[in-house]
Every structure is written in structure tokens, then in C-alpha cells.
Structure 1
Amino acid sequence: MTPREVLEYTKKNKVQVVDLKFVDLPGTWQHFTIPIEELNEGTFKDGSGLDGSSIRGWKAINNSDMLVVPDPDTACMDPFTAVPTLSLVGNVMDPITREIYERDPRFIAQKAEKHLKSTKIGDISYWGPEAEFFIFDHARFDQTSHSSYYFLDSEEGVWNAGQDGVNLGNKIRHKEGYFPVPPTDTQQDIRSEMVLEMQKAGIPIEKHHHEVATAGQAEIDLRFDSLVAMADMIMIYKNFVK
């Protein structure tokens, strides 16, 4: 999309607020939200301000002003907010030099793509990660000065085969979770819902299925794409799955 097309998109979808997202140095998505009235064509050039000293590994407090410059190609509706919200992913820019911040992971990926072309190593690199995850029914963990523990549970877990109460016996044994049909695969519907929401956000999906492990291991396969495009899609993927 162009900035103008994004503005038309916001009118069509009756957007009320805009969520600006960026990636910190360890790879966590961060965000802040602006009213729709604050979004105009100039925002895609001049950005919107943030305090870089509060982001891990970035600026000192005496030199903390930074800007998030949204990329119009990343525009999509956020399916999880009560208020109609447009999501935009952006690069982080220095407001003085007007240069993209060297510790912005998205910018690093963009530089890598430019280096690939400038050195004539190749024209483009394609990436197709197999993103997998677990869907647990219960998760507890803690670490104190004198102890630590974690406890994870899933109704699919083979260790629940002898559980009291309602128990239909459809438990996945160790290393037998690859491709079983429902009712053994209890997460068909939730994976399908994840896929549909990702597709609405513009992510091309090839398939989804239960993975090898017991206790709710899942996989949703994305169609391959270039480095920056795939990195953006993986961040959306992780956010939607959570």
C-alpha cells in the first residue's frame, strides 16, 4: 500500500486508533497507540515519537528521543481489539540525523538484503521457517532466591490417561502426535481459527497440523518470502498465536 491507500483503508474499516509496532534488540515486539486523527501522509515520513531509554539496549536517558516510522506495506486490522484498530510495523529513526537506528533489528535485516544485492552474492534470499509451538491448558513457573520450578499440562498429555473425572481416553502417546485426526487431535479448530486470522492480515499459509509431541504441539506453515517480509510475518504469527 501507499500512505494514501492506507488512509483510505482506515476510512473503509472505520478505524479509530492506530497501533504502531517495532522490534527491540532482543526481538520482542513493542507498541504504542495513537488516535486516528494523528495519522496522515506525513506520519509515514516523519514518524511518531518514543522514549528510547526505556527500551532494552538502546539509548541513554539524556539522548532518548526516537521516532517510529511506519511502513505502509505492513498495514492490517488488529483482530483482537474491541476498538477498530489499524496495525502498522515501523522502523526506528533518530530525530536529529533522520537516519534509521543501527540497533533496530528490522533495519539490520533490510541492510542485509541490500548487502546481498550490492555485493552480487544474489538477487534475493527466501526464508521459510517452520514455526512450531505448544498449546497448554495450564502453565506455572517461578524462580526465587532459594527455589525454581515449572509445571506444564495439557488434556492431550499421555500422563493424563489415568485422570479421574471426565476422561474419554483420547491421549497422544509420546512421539505419536504427528497427524492424528480428531478427537485425538483436540486443537483442530483453534489452529484453523489462527490460520484464518493470519490470512486476513495478509500472511500466506500453506497448511497446519498437529506435531509429533504429546501435549498440544502444533505447526502452522507459512509460504516462503524474503527476509524482511518473513520477519514481519513471524512477528504477526507469534502475536496471533499467543
Structure 2
Amino acid sequence: MKVDIKDRDFKWIDLKFSDLVGNFHHLTLPAKNYEEIKKNGVGFDSSSCPGFKSVEGGDMVLIIDEDSAFIDPFFEEPTISYFCYIKEADTKGEYLRDPRTVSFKAQEYMRKEGIADNVLFGPEFEFYIFDRVIVNNSENISEYKIESYEGKFGFDDTYINESGEFLMKKSGYHSIPPKDKFTDIRGKISNVIIDYGIDLIYHHHEVGSAQNEIEIKRYPLLKTGDNIQIIKYFIKNVCYKNDLSATFMPKPLYNMPGNGMHFHQHLFKNGKNLFFGNGYGGLSQIGEYYVAGLLKHGKSLLAFTNPSTNSYKRLVKGFEAPVKLFYSLANRSAAIRIPKYAISENEKRIEFRPPDGTCNPYLATAAMLMAGLDGIKNKISLKDNNFGPFDQDLEKMDKNVVEKIDSCPTNLLEALEELKKDHDYLLQGGVFSEDLIKGYIEYKEKEALEMAKRPHPYEFELYF
């Protein structure tokens, strides 16, 4: 909902921003200082934020985006909140590692190239809601425990769902109450999203016990990044206030469905959908080039769209998660699906299925756009690169055919190596910088190596 600081007697101004890897941060100031904040910005120590500057040069400044103003519903006192750009403290010039700036520049690059004047992204939010979660990670303890009344699993054998209404494994898709115990919580979350001003398509129970989904309509690039950050914030806070815990982890439970964040997307020019045509699945030639760009750069792209070690525990066979880089009509084992129901000119689009909710949404969507634009500019061929279409489920296809299709990376370090080799498409128009990519890779490599050094409980079962 559009709001102006003059509309109400606000007590506080809350400034929100994202670091390089997508963590959401905030800083709260008295509302009476608005004019000074608007003029000069607010300084902060970026060295304490993942992926930003070092201690000796960490001073940066937050500059508010006035068009992003909204009333934060989780503050007790009247608080107006803004998304912010991160700028250099001394010059107020652009900071090349600011995710929001990257998103803005990607959109401008698309327009300057004359390819399209708008791109719309529609994310699907998949998440688990648990009753209790305990995490213990130290030198001599490595454990997590998850409790779900709906899923009939707890910390020990004494935890019992005595209602008789619970969900069996992988049986939750579109289930109804009383088996779906989160209808009201999803309703509360959805009301907050709608009140904020985002158009919501639907909410429903997902396949896994305690797993949920909310899908919103498609929005421009920068707005999509803001939408994702704020919706995750809303989901976490509504659950917290109801003594529940929400997670977007791609694979929080072994042998249970993972959480993805599929991205529907299409390009427009002069109000016309550039993806609508008479090719396979109703795609235009431009749409096919865009798809080929995503798949051609798919391995390096996953460093941004699937940036956690946990991401690759989801991208395995048997869970409707893509493991091969190909496209298809309606095939949910494909990396890119053309929705069969989206047949009208305005609705024709593609869905990129590998991403998950651990991504930095500004960088992930900007990277997807840059890959697609590269496909259009260089007229990358789907056929010549063996990208399909393949309409069968991978499990039912000839093994010799499947082996010839490019695979998704199987772990984070592999994806980061692919990014090192293939990132020129991201540098076009100065959208991404070598500095950002280098800093991102260094941070994520350290994260992956820290994970690799730690003994795992399953290793004790195997080797103790």
C-alpha cells in the first residue's frame, strides 16, 4: 500500500537493506529526523555485513528509496519503513556490491539494449512450518531436532499426535483441514502480504508434512527482489508470533520434499509479451533464445540461484526437482517448464525451477535476466546445445539420451567453479562487477569449506 510519511504521526523510521548473500538487515531512527535522513542518508559499518567491505574501509551510507515506503506491521509503535540503496560514504556514488543496485542496473541494461522495456518475475514461496526446532552445534555436539504435530514427529518417541488427524509422508498436496493444520496461519500471512500491496494468487498445503506454499503475481525486476525479502520477513514474523518456526531451507528434512523458489518470467516491449508465439509450447523465437541463455549459463547461474550447501540436497532425483538442464512443456523434472495452462498472449511465460529460498533475490533474478538476454543477443540455439524439448520424465527416458543432457552442479563448490569459468554474460553493461563476483565466490567458498570440515551424525553411524 502506497504510504507517505506525512500521512500519519510516525514515531520511527525503519531502514531495510540486504547484504551480498541476501541477509535482511534494518536500522531504526526517530521519524522527526526524516528530512536529514532523506538528504544525507545514514552511515553504517558495512564490515559487519557478509560480503561487504573490510574493517579498515567499512563505512557506507544507506539512501532511502522513497517509492518503497510502507508501514511495518510488526512494530508496536507507528513505524514507516523504506528499502534502501547502499552507497559509498564519501562520494554517495554507487556501491558495486549493493544487491539492489545490481537489480536496478540489470533492468536499465535490458532497456538500453532495446530488447525489452520490462521483465516480470513471479516467485513461488515454499516453506516448512515447525512447532519446535532445536539446533546444537559445537566441538562435541552436532544435532538438530524438529517437532511437527501435523507430521506426527517429535523430539522423542513420547511425542504423540492424539487427534488421529495427521499427514502421512509426501501426502500433503492440497490437503484440507483438519489434516492441513496451517490454513489459518497461511491466511494471516496472506492478509499481511495483501495489506502491504502485493497481489496474491493463492496459498495451499504442499506435498510434505508441515510444508506450505504461497504464490504471488509477477512484478518488475527490482520490485520482485523487494517482494521476496519482505514476504520472507512477513512469513517468519507471523509464525514467530504464533509460537511456530518457518524455514525456507531447501532440504530441512531427510527423504522429504524440498523447498524450492520457482521463478515464472517473461519479457515485454510496448505492452506486448515477447514470449508469445507459435513455436514449441507456444513460445516465440525470442522466448526460445531466452530459455537457451538460461540453460547455456545454467551451471554458473546456480551459484546465485542455489547458493547454499543445503541447496544441492534438494536437487536430487525423485522429488520433482531438476537435475538436468533441459526445457519442456509441463514436465516438472525439467529445469525450465513452459506452463501448459498459460496459453493466452499475456500469460505465456517460462518457469525456471532450480532456484530456492536461500538465494539473494536481487542477484538471482538479475543473473537470470542477464543469462536470458545473452541468449537473445547471441541467438543461442536450443537444438544445437541438446536442451530439448524432452517431454518424458527423466526416470522413464533412455539412459543414453539422459547422459547426453547437461547436468546441474551437484554441490555448491562445483557451482562456484562454474561461475569462475562462466560470468562474462553477467559483466555486460557493468551490471555485475568482477569485484562483486570475486567477493561472492570467496564468501561462499569459505561457507562450503566450513561445512565440509564438520563431522556429521550420519558419519558416526557409518564409521564410528
Structure 2 letter corresponding to 1:88 = Y
Which residue of 58, 69, 74 maps to 2:68? Answer: 74
> What is the CA–CA distance in structure 1 between the aligned matches of 2:11 and 2:69, rounded to whole Å?
14
3-state SS, counterpart of residue 87 of structure 1: strand
Partner in structure 1 of residue 183 of structure 2: 188
1:56 maps onto 2:54 in alignment: no
Structure 1 letter corresponding to 2:22 = G
3-state SS, counterpart of residue 19 of structure 1: strand
3-state SS, counterpart of residue 136 of structure 2: strand
Instruction: Report the alpha carbon displacement of residue 46 of structure 1 after superposing the two structures with TM.
Output: 2.7
> What is the CA–CA distance in structure 2 between the aligned matches of 1:112 and 1:39, rounded to whole Å?
30
Runs of 5+ consecutive residues of structure 1 not aligned to the other structure = none
Partner in structure 1 of residue 10 of structure 2: 15
3-state SS, counterpart of residue 6 of structure 2: helix
The number of residue pairs the alignment matches comes to 234
Partner in structure 2 of residue 153 of structure 1: 147
> What is the CA–CA distance in structure 2 between the aligned matches of 1:169 and 1:163, rounded to whole Å?
16
> What is the CA–CA distance in structure 1 between the aligned matches of 2:69 and 2:198, rounded to whole Å?
12
Which residue of 193, 198, 201 maps to 2:196? Answer: 201
Runs of 5+ consecutive residues of structure 2 not aligned to the other structure = 237-464
1:225 maps onto 2:207 in alignment: no
Partner in structure 2 of residue 24 of structure 1: 19
> What is the CA–CA distance in structure 2 between the aligned matches of 1:36 and 1:158, rounded to whole Å?
47
Greater Cα shift, 140-149 or 162-171: 162-171
> What is the CA–CA distance in structure 2 between the aligned matches of 1:149 and 1:194, rounded to whole Å?
30
User: 1:158 touches 1:174 (CA, 8 Å); kept in 2?
Assistant: no
Partner in structure 1 of residue 122 of structure 2: 128
User: 1:76 touches 1:202 (CA, 8 Å); kept in 2?
Assistant: no
Structure 2 letter corresponding to 1:126 = L
3-state SS, counterpart of residue 200 of structure 1: helix
TM-score using structure 2 length: 0.48
The Cα offsets for residues 154-209 of structure 1, whole Å up to 9 and x where unpaired, read as 1011447x966661111111121011111111111111000111112122211111
Partner in structure 1 of residue 83 of structure 2: 89
The Cα offsets for residues 91-143 of structure 1, whole Å up to 9 and x where unpaired, read as 01113222121111111111111111112232221111111101000111222
Q: Which structure dedicates a bigger proportion of its chain to helix?
A: 2
Structure 2 letter corresponding to 1:125 = V
Q: Percent identity?
A: 34
TM-score using structure 1 length: 0.90
Rg bigger for which structure?
A: 2
Partner in structure 2 of residue 118 of structure 1: 112
Large movers: runs of 4+ above 4 Å:
162-166
> What is the CA–CA distance in structure 2 between the aligned matches of 1:109 and 1:164, rounded to whole Å?
46
Distance change >3 Å, CA 237–CA 122, structure 1 → 2: same
3-state SS, counterpart of residue 130 of structure 2: coil
RMSD, matched Cα: 2.0
> What is the CA–CA distance in structure 2 between the aligned matches of 1:31 and 1:236, rounded to whole Å?
12
The Cα offsets for residues 51-93 of structure 1, whole Å up to 9 and x where unpaired, read as 2222222223332221111111211111111121111110011
User: 2:18 touches 2:25 (CA, 8 Å); kept in 1?
Assistant: yes
Distance change >3 Å, CA 128–CA 164, structure 1 → 2: closer
> What is the CA–CA distance in structure 1 between the aligned matches of 2:17 and 2:159, rounded to whole Å?
47
> What is the CA–CA distance in structure 1 between the aligned matches of 2:132 and 2:18, rounded to whole Å?
28
